[in-house]
Structure 1
Amino acid sequence: MERNSVIMPQRFILYKLMFRQMKAHQVIHLVFVPEDKKNELAPSLAGQFVMIHVLDETGVEVRAKPYSLYNHNADGAIAIGFKIEGEFTQRLSALRPGDRIGVSGPFGIFTLEKIHHAALIMLAGGIGIVPLLSMIQSAALNHLQNPITLFYCNHVARDIAYYDELELLKTQHAQIAMHFLVSAPSRAPQKDVSQGRISWEFMKERVPLKEDALYYICGSERFMEHTLGFLLKNGVSKKSIKKEVFT
């Protein structure tokens, strides 16, 4: 998902598309590998983002936008996930295996704090799940013992991206809990999906909201305004909140 207020870098590394898969309605997952294995991105931290540079037929940059990394493997492969909406994402979604793009980065400070035993409470809106899922995967891989609770909010159930990956993490790691919410009423609600908007009361009924908890929030400006509003209203300190606004 693209972000705002980011300066476009002037240099990039060539990558080519290796794999593509739909992860929800209008949400696509793309995996790229470096064209030259001797020239790849520097290591990244979970939650960081890269600039994706779309190229023309001659390899000249047409446009660039930032996207969160879903993951960045040791072999140099990177993956991103985004919702198809707008000209740039339509162009990215039209890429086929072997097509080239430019990539620069990684960038960003929206990363996991290494604070032992503090509860991590994550609130994701829509495709804002990508950097948070990256953090949860990293925490599981590195055997982080902090309890993690994710509240993932969407309009309807078909918008829930990476559902299988999230469910697998939940079942394999006892310290990870997840709650799915949709704001639109459904005639056939899913068993594990609640209906309504995220609120302090909803969260408090499902997880202890301790004073030393850390909150990670990622979503649209409207989602951020809503969640930040009730967190601050209920006494959560600004220094306990890490956030990333998606546009």
Structure 2
Amino acid sequence: VLLPESGRSTCPAEDDHEDFCSHAVAVARLDAELVGLKALRRFAAADDSEAHFVVPQPIELVKCPSPGGAALLLPWLNLKTPRCLEAHGTAVAALHSRSLGQSESFGFAQDTFCGRWRLRNCWGNDWVSFFQEQRLQPLLRAAMAAADRTNTIVGPATRSMAKLEGYEALRALFRGADMRPCLLHGDLWRGNFVLEDGKPVLLDPAASWGHSEMDVAQVKLLEAPESYEQFMRGYYGMMR
């Protein structure tokens, strides 16, 4: 449930930041989650599958007239926090492998949200360009704006990348890689790793069609090394 907050958030008022719970943004955020859940459900296998994972079936998006927020109704799930992320690694690998090549382009049918950050999802046929222009660039612009406001020194590498320079090295990292899009969860962090009846649940997505390394890198960035190793053990076990 998202309800309006008084005043603006303390985050920079960049193009890709939003009032966290203004009425319009509350509806847009939950609608994006609803569409993302439906997309993920296409690739959740039957209960007897070796790599079954649970994706809640959205019931309805409710727009609240007062105080003006919105609510996304989902089925009740008896959720528990996992001690190990191996099963979630298997689930994400299953999502990636089942959806690989099912889209010809990178992007999504609409913008999605990772926290308060709007993720632009204009369709494109080149992953490096999509990642550069619709993922890295907005973050770099926000970092530059924050640095200017606080008189923080920004390194030359950040300034160069913010000017769309220095991306040949990024492109080189993907040479020889399978560049077909797969469906990404897009918001893999500790709060979204849960179990229901011992099965991994994929919820609260910021879905898009992209390169699988995006999901994997997010886990490596946000999780402790031991948890990341557990996740990758399940991920690689499914991919073999």
TM-score by length of 2: 0.23
Task: Indicate the structure with greater helix content.
Answer: 2
Task: Indicate the structure with greater strand content.
Answer: 1
The structure whose RCO (Cα within 8 Å, separation 6+) is larger is: 2
